[in-house]
Amino acid sequence: MAAARRGELTPAMRQVLAAERIDENDLLAGLASGTIVVPANHKHGSLRGCGVGKGLRTKVNVNLGVSEDCCHVERELDKVRRAIELKADAIMDLSTFGDTRAFRRRTVELSPVMIGTVPVYDAVARYGKEVGRITVDDFFETVHVHAEDGVDFMTIHAGLTQTALQRLKNRPRLSHVVSRGGSLLLDWMSANDRENPFYEHFDRLLALCREYDITLSLGDGLRPGCLKDATDAAQIQELILLGELSARCREAEVQVMIEGPGHVPLNEVVANMQLEKKLCQGAPFYVLGPIVTDVAPGYDHITSAIGGALAGAAGADFLCYVTPAEHLRLPDAQDMKEGIVAARIAAHAADIAKGIPGAQDWDNAMGEARRELDWTRMFELAIDPEKARAYRASSRPIDAETCTMCGDLCAVKRSRRILAGQ
């Protein structure tokens, strides 16, 4: 942000310009004002700069990491490699067990995409204490370790304050607090009868982020965990506080994103996007889903893609993928693939709706390939070429130019012949 305000292009900014159709002056203006961020810790040596925000492609994040129940480090590292192959724009390491630092360092080392973490998770794993006995210095030392390891953006639930919690107590929820980081801080605040340490010591956090050029992703600890709780007083109170904190980030020249819901009925998705943009002065919005119905376990990659497409079209800048395993178990590699593909479809659909320059060119090329019945080109253009080829190979037509759905009644082949005057 400081460089952009001086009118200077950094190497990471140049990489963004090479990957996006945005004017150099527009990029600098967006970075200077805070409507665009380029998460790029200077210790992440393998990083390829990626922009998130106004006028840029909607980006997709993948969550992974080891847990106590599924502590398979090499399997998770394979998922890191596979996520990169599947064109994820970011990876969040949410590890909560074992040698989390070794896993995090290996992830940063092999990943050209930006890496995010939630340090409060790691503080629990790192110190092995009851949550209430973790000290303020423990929390900040964990943030410092993640910074040293090259993490580009960090989720910090600094807006979950005593004021926000009072809103929750005044109007109880059906699903209470479903954010893991939010629940940990709730536990700490209750055990110590104190304010959220990241809110109370926010300037200390800003100093660390400024030193390493880490982007703050202000977490939504009070995001709704079911439709009934969506857009309630607790969620909006936290969002108001995040807006105030985002202004402090800009004053300190620290890049900031805002995290959002969560479970939201379809008719409230647009309003949630508008509220964030208004209250947070246009800061990039990073949303989980949103999941638009609660009754589809095993299919939540679909429920979130529906919400994500609408959210993106209405202004969301960054979609956190959701897999079929959401609410059920740790995702495996196949779950991860389905989640990435669903989120990428949603992001691309949103880009077309937003009029992102060049977004529809991809679709136009596919339309041309289908007109010509150019199957090789169709596979090359498919968002999942592997699946498209497998489907085609599983049912061979008599006429190799057509498919087994229509065969000799292929409308494309027939109309092309007639309109060509043959």
Residues annotated within a binding site = 63, 92, 121, 157, 179-181, 220-223, 259, 263, 286, 327, 403, 406, 410
| Closest by Cα among 113, 124, 65 to 85 | 113
What distance separates the 2 farthest-apart alpha carbons in the chain?
82
Q: Which stretch of DSSP H or E encloses residue 318?
A: strand 318-320
- Binding residues for Zn(2+), as ranges, are 263, 327
Return d(Cα 239, Cα 243) in angstroms, integer: 6
- Binding residues for substrate, as ranges, are 63, 92, 121, 157, 179-181, 220-223, 259, 286
- CA dist list (Å): 87 to 83, 111, 113, 315, 341: 6, 12, 9, 22, 9
Neighbours of 386 (CB within 10 A): 11
| Closest by Cα among 51, 94, 39 to 70 | 94
Contact, 29 vs 3, CB < 8 A?
Answer: no
Return d(Cα 152, Cα 40) in angstroms, integer: 5
Strand pairing report for 215-218 and 153-156 = parallel
